[in-house]
Amino acid sequence: MAVRLDDRGLLAHHAEWVGRRTGRSVAGLGPEDGTALLFAADELLVDGEHVKFCEVPRVEGQDALLSLLALDFRGDVVVTSDMGAAVAALAARYRLDGRGAALDLVSPCSASGVFEPSSSFDTATLMLFQAVRWSPCLRQSWGPGTYETTSGHFRLKVPQRSIYTRPTVTVSGSSLQVVLYDDHRIELDRWSDASRVTVHPPEWSTCYLTVSSPTPYRIGTAMTLDTPVIAGPHHEIEVLPKWWSDPPPLLLTEPTTRYLYDPCPGEGPALLFERRAVRIELLDRPGQVIRRASPMSDALSLDTTDLPSGPYVLQITRQSKEVVPLRQLPPLLQRADPLPGGAWQPAATPQAPHPRSTPPAS
C-alpha cells in the first residue's frame, strides 16, 4: 500500500494544531481519522537513545519502508511532512536491521490532559498500564498516566503483575458510576455513587471499563506498588512513567507525592523534570534519602548513575498549596555520528550533587 505525502489535508492541520499546543514539531501518519499516529517529526528513539534531526535524512527505499508501516492501517494512508516521512521510514529501516527503534509518539492530550469522549465498546479508548517502547506503528493509546475526560468507555490492555507491582485503574470525580467488564463484555464488578474508585482488573487480559459522571473526571492507569518492599507509607503508589512514552504531566495534588522508580538500561544518566517549585528526592528501601535533584538551566536533574538494582521511591514535595503539573523531560542533546540527517542524540547529563548512603539491598 503506497503512502502519499499530504501536507495540506485534515491530518496535516491536526498535526500542526497539536504541535502548537505541545511546542513540538509534529507529523501524522495514517488515514485521516482517529486511527492515525501523531509523532515528533524530527525525533527518533534508537537503541535507547533520543535522536533529533536537524535536516531531512536520506533513507534508501523510503517508499517501500513507508508501505510496510501502512499495513498497520486501513484505508488511504498519508504522511504530513517530508521530515516525518523520512523519520518514519528510518524507524522501519532500523527495525528491519534488528535495532531498537521507535517513533516518539505524541498524544493529542499532551498539552491539556484531555482526550475525546467515547460512547461505545467499539470505539472505546485504549488505555495502557506500561509504556510500549519499540513499535514504530502503534495505534493511538493513552497511559500510563492520569487524564481528565468525559469519555465513557475504555479498553484496558492489562499486563501481568511483577514481583512488586500490579496493574491499577483509578477514577476520581463526583457521583461516579463505574462498571468493569471482561473481553466478552460480561460484567465483573461495579461501583455506584462514588467519588474515588480503585480497580485491579484481571492480569494478562483485555477488559472494558465504563464510567459515567455528571461532571468531567480523572482516570489513570499505572502499575502500582503491591508488596511492601520499601519502608514507609507507600501503599498503591504508582510506577513513574518513562519519559519516552510521552506521559501527561505528573499532577502533584498532595503536598508530597511518591512514585516507584526502578532504573533500567538505556534510560540515560539522570531523570530530568521541568523546573518547578518542588523538591525531588530519591529514597532507598529503608526510606532514607540517597539523592536529591538540583537545578540545571531550566530543568531539575536527578543523577541516576551507578544506582544498584531497585526499586526506589521518587519523592516530590511541592512548595506551594496549589496543584502543580510536573512534566518529565528527555535527555539533553549533543551531536552524534554516523546517524543521517545531521542527527543529534543525548549528551551525558551533568551529575547533580547528591547525598549518598548505603545502597539498598538487592
pLDDT tens by residue, 307-322: 888 789 999 999 998 9
Regarding whether 205 and 123 lie in a shared domain, the answer is yes
Regarding whether 116 and 222 lie in a shared domain, the answer is yes
Which of 74, 106, 138 finishes a domain? Answer: 106
Give the 3-state secondary structure of residue 224.
Answer: strand
Domain holding 309, by residue range, is: 249-330+348-362
Q: In the structure, what pLDDT confidence band is assigned to residue 74 with cuts at 50, 70 and 90?
A: confident
Flag whether 240 is in a domain: no
pLDDT of residue 118 exceeding 90, the answer is no
Kindly provide the b/e burial profile for residues 118-148, where b requires at least 16 CB atoms within 10 angstroms of the residue's own CB. Answer: beeeeebbbbbbbbeeeebbbebbbbbbbbb
pLDDT of residue 82 exceeding 60, the answer is yes
Backbone φ, ψ for residue 43 (5° rounding) = -135, 155
Grid cell of 151 as nine digits: 469519555
Give the 3-state secondary structure of residue 178.
Answer: strand
The number of distinct structural domains making up the chain is 3
Q: Using an 8 Å Cβ cutoff, are 5 and 79 in contact?
A: yes
Give the 3-state secondary structure of residue 106.
Answer: coil
pLDDT in tens, 188-201: 999 999 999 999 99
Question: What per-residue confidence (pLDDT) applies to 362?
Answer: 35
pLDDT in tens, 13-61: 989 988 888 888 999 998 887 668 889 999 987 765 778 899 999 999 9
Regarding whether 183 and 158 lie in a shared domain, the answer is yes
Cα three-residue angle 305-53-14, rounded to 5 degrees: 110
Dist CA 121 CA 115 (whole Å): 16
